[in-house]
Amino acid sequence: MRFAIGCFASRPLTFSFVCAALLFASMRSTMAESAFIQQATMGAAGSSRHVTFNSMLQTSGLTVTGYRAPTHSGITLPTPETANPTTNHNFASTLEAGYFNRVTQVQSGSGNVSNVGIVKGLYNNVGVLQDGHSLTSNLLLVNTIGLSVGVLQPSGSAPVNMLIARLPNGALLIRR
């Protein structure tokens, strides 16, 4: 297995994950078998299914010789992002194209819409709190570093449409 370390050096989290995966893969061949007996549950077809260290490696993208993937049966429940919306019809979306940004969107009430975009951003913190009916907020940060922005919208407040951009000369443009 061969990896170019230079491409991971600028991304510490990715580099750490790759190192940990390689460490686990190298330890697999030298590990002794456990003294405990694995218990398996019997499925409807009489086949056993259990999670082992090999299945954890398989889900992380590594392969182990002699591994057979367990079969999948039953109904897969949708994740909260893909499930049908609830009756209050709130919508929050986030677009992040940068590193180490944090976005928190909290909505209470009904019919609220919140859109946050961070393009080419680094270490930004954005918080949107909406409490009421039919509130709208659109926030876009472009080329910003280390900004903390909070949007508080109580019931009956006007829509918030804001662009915050760092210009090439270093000035900060705030357009409302």
pLDDT digits (tens, 9 = 90+) for 54-80: 445 555 555 555 556 566 666 777 666
* pTM exceeds 0.95: no
Q: How far apart are CA 130 and CA 154, in angstroms?
A: 6
Amino acid identity at 84: N
Q: DSSP states of 158-174 as a string?
A: PPEEEEEEE-TTS-EEE
| Cβ atoms 127, 149 nearer than 8 A | yes
Average pLDDT of the chain? 75
Q: How far apart are CA 102 and CA 46, in angstroms?
A: 47
